[in-house]
Chain A
Amino acid sequence: MKKFIGFIKKEFYHIFRDRRSLFILFGMPIAQIMLFGFAITNEINNVNVVVLDLSKDVSTNTIVNKISASSYFTVTQLLESQNEVESIFKKGKVKAVIVFEKDFDQQMRNAGIAKIQLLTDATDPNTANTINNYITSITQNYAKEINQDIQLPFQIVPESRMVFNPEIKSVFMFVPGVMTIILMLVSAMMTSISITKEKELGTMEILLVSPLKPYQVIIGKVIPYVFLSIINALVIILLSIFIFKMPVQGSFFLLGLESVLFIITSLSLGILISTMSKTQQTAMMISLMGLMLPVILLSGFIFPINSMPLPLQVISNIIPAKWFIIIIKGVMLKGVGLLYLWKETLILLGMTVFFILLSIRKYKIRLE
């Protein structure tokens, strides 16, 4: 035990005396979360829209008021005819035109369905998409309100797909992904680099000649990164809660446990990578290409998995990050417990055991 404390102390000296690791460990997580939170979000604010109201009744009036009252939109103009639509887009200041059909209210009450035409400037497809979602959500809210008073449900727009993120805050969708990437980066890449560094410098040999057993050496090298990863996970969660007002619907305890599990998965991957690489450079390349890229592309973090081609969907199953993202989205956004997440948890656990066994095998082979 005392040997371990010395070992861990030494590891912390390495980390705190190396600017590069310090930056990766502490600078990157905060920078990334801020970047995703503020800059790369799909959030919109005071977007200019114009309204073409061919009906001018109670319902359309209420909806227009709701739209202009939200902080997302500014209704800059009320159009009189369809002819004006094209010219208004060409000026470029208006991002969307909302068209209410004739006799909107009547249609809704008689036919049970009324149409809104939403024209968005798709030169910026992301924003266009977001506007679409926001307007949908506003009209849907209105439909809900009036449906409370009346027996027959009216329908205005198709159902919103974003059930668990009612305010459609995109930052909520990014936080789980960013957290996953950062934990992966810190746990897998940093450990694999720090282990191969000892190989490269020849100190690993000295450690292996010492009475320490090989597995003790590895555990000693890994423990500091467990601590740091846990701190990182905490920082990310706190930032999300306090700066981005992200809710944690489910249990904090479960969130913590699942995060520790994923940290261990990543660490075991890091160890595995270190058994395969002779130099720090290789370890870093394998970590980036073999881990980060799949996490970004295939985990569902940026590109939704069910819109991928089938082969990629199949491949995505072997990426631990995919399961972890499902788990934290479940806990944070849906507030579900282990009852719903046991399958994903078990998969992650299985992968971890597999990686650890594989590294033990590889490690033995490497020592000949």
Chain B
Amino acid sequence: MSVRDENIIEVEGLTKAFGDFKAVNEISFVVKRGEIFGFLGANGAGKTTAMKMLIGISTPTSGKAKVAGFDVFTSAEDIKKNIGYMSQKFALYDDLTVRENITFFGGIYGLKRQQIKNKSNQLIEELGLEDVKNQLVGSLPLGWKQKISFSVAMLHEPKIVFLDEPTGGVDPITRRQFWEMIYKAADEGTTIFVTTHYMDEAEYCNRVSIMVNGKIEALDTPQKLKEQFKADNMNDVFLKLARG
């Protein structure tokens, strides 16, 4: 993994209000190219809302943000060409087979037919999907779906991939395997922006931010955060933060 001293995401005072309620309240941070950046917080902290602003499908109420060098207010279309996204809701087509899903998403990202073919063969082999490649995705276990989902988000080799609770609801073994996939992508130079509410997963990240009620209350490497809060693990860090 090679984290470079180059900001690929820059956020300053970013805010999203729904009426009077500020779901995201003046958050500021930067993400370095090649980094695995953990975006932590309890349910309802505002992680998804913040991420949607960064990927260009939700306009911020105020503040500034640049992703891959493009402004979220003015160049959302350019941002979209440079990122991959895996949403918190599982979002492949249940009534399409594994192969059809890969072909479809490859297609809308503008991959050439031959590229799509190579990619899907490679993907099917790596994920061990040979036996189920022509089965409808709906019939597969959740863990598999999520791995396919991640691979689909990576199909067009984006500079940054945004993962919103990618491991929600799956067993620890599958979570491990999932993180191995994340590491592999990071090794190949992709910047990873990942939200989670599993605090143990924070240990896998280069740096983490912890969000509480719309604000970022802590941001550093897991090591430094544990020192700062005199805690044994990230879970304790989080608990201490939450208690105030």
Contacts and interface: CB of A to CB of B under 8 A. Distances in A.
Contacts of A14: 93, 95-96
B57 A209 contact: yes
B85 A209 contact: yes
A69 B77 CA distance: 75
Nearest to B106: A6
Interface string A309-327: 0000000000000000000
A205 B95 CA distance: 18
A216 to B, nearest CB: 9
B91 A206 contact: yes
A202 B104 contact: no
A13 B107 contact: no
A213 interface: yes
B104 A211 contact: no
Nearest to A9: B104
Interface string A6-22: 11011001100110000
Interface in A319-368: 367-368
B110 A205 contact: no
Given A14-B95, A211-B109, A201 B89 contact: yes
Interface in A205-227: 205-213
Nearest to B152: A206
Interface residues of B, number: 29
B95 A209 contact: no
Nearest to A200: B89
B108 A208 contact: no
Given A13-B96, A18-B95, A209-B57, A7 B83 contact: no
B174 interface: no
A202 B87 contact: yes
A289 to B, nearest CB: 28
B162 to A, nearest CB: 8
A207 B89 contact: no
B110 A211 contact: yes
A201 to B, nearest CB: 7
A326 B181 CA distance: 62
Interface in B82-100: 83, 85, 87-96, 100
Contacts of A203: 91-93
A10 B100 contact: yes
A3 interface: yes
B120 interface: no
A10 B107 CA distance: 11
A50 to B, nearest CB: 63
A219 to B, nearest CB: 13
A7 B93 CA distance: 12
A3 B77 CA distance: 16
B181 to A, nearest CB: 18
A165 B83 CA distance: 63
Contacts of A210: 80, 105, 108-109
A209 B83 contact: yes
Given A210-B109, A212-B108, A10 B80 contact: no
A2 interface: yes
Interface of A: 2-3, 5-7, 9-10, 13-14, 17-18, 201-203, 205-213, 367-368
Given A210-B109, A367-B57, 4 more contacts: A201-B89, A202-B89, A203-B93, A208-B57
9 contacts: A6-B104, A6-B108, A7-B108, A10-B100, A202-B90, A202-B91, A209-B55, A209-B80, A213-B77
